[in-house]
Structure 1
Amino acid sequence: MAIRISTQMMYDRNVSQLSNLHGNMLRTQMQLSTDRRVLTPADDPVSSARALEVTQSYELNEQYVLNRQSASASLVQVDSTLETVNDILDNALVEVVRAGNPGQSQSDRDAIAVALEGHLADLLSQANTADGSGGYLFSGYKTNTQPFALTADGADYYGDQGRRELQVGSGRQMAISATGSEIFLENPTGNRTFQTGADPANTGTGVISPGTIVGTTQPINYEINFTKDATTGAVEFSVTNTDDGSQVMPPTAFKSGEPIVFGGMSFDITGAPANGDKFTIEPSRNQSVFTTIRDVVKALRNPGSGPTAGAELTNALNRANQNLQNARDNVLSVRASVGARENELETLDSSASALRIQYSDQITNLIGLTTEGQIEAVSRFQQQTTSLTAAQQTFRSATQLSLFNYI
């Protein structure tokens, strides 16, 4: 039975064939231009789903990179500010040591007090450092609140104890700042375990040392009381536990500079304490560095004169020297913590670089064109181009098959 092929059918079949060939060629061309084997999930559902998971991990890794850049910028600013604070404290210590020179006149001490007030202003400026984004670096979570304001006795802190953090890794949140309280307020006094002091009412020339730890000690308050025999001139001291009133050391002959040891502590008192003079031993406590500088400025401007005033000034300078050293050590400790976090960020960045390459390779293997795939796609594109060209020429020739062409 003869099959009749109409002109319309011939056109429809050829147009459909050309359309299919052209679509296949365009798909191959898109694979080459995007460097992807899988253009839609329908091409390879399993690989597409897996590639989506890997892509999400890749983008998350890139976000961690951005977070670490922000964290690093903040930590660098904190470290730079703390370096300046350390320099200020070093300069203040130099002034305190200079003030201890017995040859200084009152006008010299007044000049040193002015210099220390300048260091105090510089210290406040660093404590109120802006973070570059409209907030303050050391105010904790209260970024829009200026953390410190000077007072007659030191400075008040208006920030909080919060430490701003950023997610810098899949399982790592990192503090990107430090609070003003841990830098400027939480500075231990004395030798970090206990602090020595002289009663302001003393009339002798006794000077007590900061002391050291020589055994197990407990946070207890002690008082060292001096008595002087009016007849013989012999000076004795006794030690009392002021927490419970018990006597720790009975009356003992005093020798200037000889170590006094009890309760795991050792210290000495030099000079000539007078009858009724008292010295104290207290547990170390936290003190603002602003208070430390304020106290030493007041001591330097004390108009007292004579041996007793000199001993009082020496005790004040010794106390300030020890407390400023503690404040500087505290700043160095915070800087060490900041430096450790900066090193950790560098390690995390190195790991992120390796992950970036790993994720990229996985995505390429799942939906991308490998080297072999590119070669195959180029060959296929050339074949499809040739097939389309041949089909177009065949269709053109077929449409010209008419008896009218031969009349």
Structure 2
Amino acid sequence: MRISTAQFYESSAANYQKNFANAVKSSEEASSLVRVNTAADDPVGASRLLQLGQQASMLDQYTANTNAIKATLGTTESVMTSIGNVLQRARELAIGAGNGAYADADRQATASELGQIEEQLLSLMNTKDESGKYIFAGSKGDTVPFSRNSDGTYSYNGDQTTLNLPIGDTMSMAANSTGWEAFQQAINTSRSQTALTSPAVNDGRVLLSDGLVSASATYNNRFRSGEPYTVDFLSGTQLKITDASGNDVTAEASQNGAFSSKDATTQSINFRGLELRLNINLQAGDTDPDAVIAGHSFSLTSKPDSFNVSRSPGNPSTAQVTASTVSNAADYNGSFPTGGAILKFTSATGYELYASPFTADSKPVSTGSLVGSTATAAGVDFNLSGAPQAGDQYVIAVNNHQTQNILDTVSQLRSALLAPISTDPVLGQRFTAELSAGISNLTSGTEQLSSALSSVGGRGAALDTQTEANASISLANKQTQSAIRDSDPAEVMTRLTLQQTMLQASQLAFSKIAQLGLFNKV
């Protein structure tokens, strides 16, 4: 086979360029020790590196989320610990206030310190993080979570939404703790009430406390199903309890309703998850206890739902809702929104009631017109002062007394301590019952706070575990990327040496063969 001079030069140039390109590439690889620069270098490896790069980016985001959550949890834990210490001091003061040697001035001094504690709690519960967001407001970080109402009670203005951030491929974690979870959901042990129904004028001889819930499940299942109850005192040693249907349920009370006016241990009545304190105050000349105690009667019920109504800032009028009461229990239980409501006036007399939160698609659950100064909606009467106008809105929060804000607990305890009782033993007995309720609710609030604090600690521990797992995955990711992308220095230097040798050989061969042409023989 004959090879032309042109073919020889073209073939030699192509081989030389190929060898030269291989040598240059290997030289660059030896300098950077990177084997895969483009997909053409290793299509399968490049695809795998792309996947690993995406995973590395996600791991970096997980690390950023982890650091953000750690910072928030650290702030939350610190604030909750401080609140726990403040509540412990409040409980110590409450227990000390039960000292029989305390005078009214001593209790008022204690109330003054409780007032400072109340302000301190409010400040702590409205703590902001380093970015200026309220840490206990849920997703409403720009809204003050707790505020004092005009009647001295407190409202939670945040929501129940936790801000979840991904910290792993299949794991997300709440970065915040809501004030609703930590401070609003403490079980209210003082959610029943008694009222003297006979005699018409209270003679002070029989005092029956509002009671403390000692077993929530029994109270909710048994007590609530039979209310209202009537407690009749038949003699100086026996009482009778009947339920709403007139059934005698005294057998479910401790000692079957028996008590002694002289033995304090029998003056505590346990009934369907409720503990009632009984005080018998015989007066001078009461020689026949049966005669003076028999005929006393009390009603016993759960506290009815109450409402906190606030005027929207943008209302056209200055009208305020001054009172709100349930006027029709059937309508209220059947249609009033349990999560709160919005009362909106469509004219000077017409109004509509919406479930909260109110949106453009909301449908009214009740409508009506003012009767005098009263708006009745879904079984609740709202009394207004002033003339409302179209566009007025009122935000209605429902308090079913199942739970109680710890701020309200401290406030109620402070109010109880301010009342003078030294000159009236009956007032003293009522104060003792209120003090017991306050201490019980402080304990309940502390337990709820401890539960929220445990949640923070648990998330912190889980975060540490996930951080270690992410670090291990990140290390494996880097090692795998290195194995695919990076070159073996010994291998690449050996290859470079070989390619340089081949390049030199091709140069030498070209020069030798080029001398074999006919023109060199002429």
The answer, yes or no, to whether TM exceeds 0.5 is: yes
Shift of 1:17: 7.2
1:356 aligns with 474
Separation in 2 of the partners of 1:352 and 1:46?
A: 26
CA distance in 2 between counterparts of 1:172 and 1:2 reads 70
User: Partner letter of residue 61 of structure 2?
Assistant: Q
Cα separation, partners in 2 of 1:385 and 1:340, compared to 1, 3 Å: same
State the 1:340 CA deviation: 1.1
Bigger mean CA offset, 199-208 vs 121-130: 199-208
Match of 1:109 among 107, 110, 131: 107
Match of 1:225 in 2: 231
Whole-Å Cα distance in 2 between the matches of residues 394 and 87 of structure 1?
Answer: 91
SS state at 1:356 partner: helix
Q: Which residue of structure 2 lines up, in the alignment, with residue 288 of structure 1? A: 405
Check the 8 A contact 1:207/1:269 in 2, yes or no: yes
Q: Which moved more, 1:139-148 or 1:280-289?
A: 280-289
Find the counterpart in structure 1 of residue 447 from structure 2.
329
Matched, 1:260 2:261: no
Asked if 1 retains the 8 angstrom alpha-carbon contact of 2:238 and 2:258, the reply is yes
**Residue pair 1:240, 1:247 contacting (<8 A) in 2 also:** yes
Do the aligned partners of 1:204 and 1:277 also contact (CA within 8 Å) in 2? no
What is the CA–CA distance in structure 2 between the aligned matches of 1:158 and 1:365, rounded to whole Å? Answer: 55
Give the superposed CA RMSD. 3.6
Distance in 2, matches of 1:316 and 1:252, equals: 23
The question of whether the paired residues in 2 share the 8 Å contact of 1:142 and 1:160 is answered with yes
1:379-398 maps to which residues of 2 (within 5 A)? 379-384=494-499
Q: Measured at CA, do residues 375 and 329 of structure 1 come closer, stay the same or move farther in structure 2, by a change above 3 Å?
A: same
The amino acid of 1:187's aligned partner reads A
- Change over 3 Å in CA distance of 1:260–1:3 after alignment to 2: closer
Cα deviations by residue, 1:112-159 (Å, 9 ceiling, x for unpaired): 111111111111111111021121101111111111112333212221
Given candidates 134, 153, 156, the residue that maps to 2:132 is 134
Find the aligned partners of 1:365 and 1:309 in 2 and give their Cα distance.
83
Q: Counterpart of 1:167 in 2: which secondary structure? A: strand
Aligned to 1:400: none
CA contact (8 A) 1:155 1:291 kept: yes
- Which amino acid is 1:186 matched to? Q
The answer to whether the 8 A contact 2:277-2:433 is kept is no
Q: Distance in 2 between matches of 1:101 and 1:74?
A: 42
Whichever residue aligns with residue 161 of structure 1, its letter is Q
How many residue pairs end up in the alignment? 384
Give, in angstroms, the shift of residue 26 of structure 1. Answer: 3.5
Correspondence list, 1:65-80, <5 A? 65-80=63-78
Give, as a single letter, the amino acid of the residue that structure 1 aligns with 2:403: N
- Structure 1 residues 266, 123: closer, same or farther in 2, change over 3 A? closer
* SS of residue paired to 2:95: helix
1:84 Cα offset (Å): 0.9
Aligned runs of 1:55-94 on 2, under 5 Å?
55-94=53-92
Give 3-state SS (helix, strand or coil) of 1:260's partner: strand
1:286 and 1:215 mapped to 2: Cα distance?
14
Displacement of 1:198 in angstroms is: 5.4
2:239 to 237, 240, 263: 237
1:177 maps to 2:176:
yes
The question of 1:164 aligning with 2:282 is answered no
Which deviations, in whole Å up to 9, do the C-alpha atoms of 1:249-288 show, x marking residues without a partner?
289442242253443x364635316753647464871111
Q: 1:179 to 1:76 in 2, by over 3 A?
A: same
Unmatched 5+ residue regions in structure 1? Answer: 398-407
Larger helix share, 1 or 2: 1
Following the alignment from structure 1 to structure 2, what is the Cα–Cα distance between the partners of residues 59 and 173?
A: 17
Partner amino acid, structure 2, of 1:379: T
**What is the match of residue 269 of structure 1?**
277
2:345 paired with 1:346:
no
Flag the 1:93–1:279 CA change in 2: closer, same or farther, 3 A.
Answer: farther
Deviates more, 1:23-32 or 1:308-317: 23-32
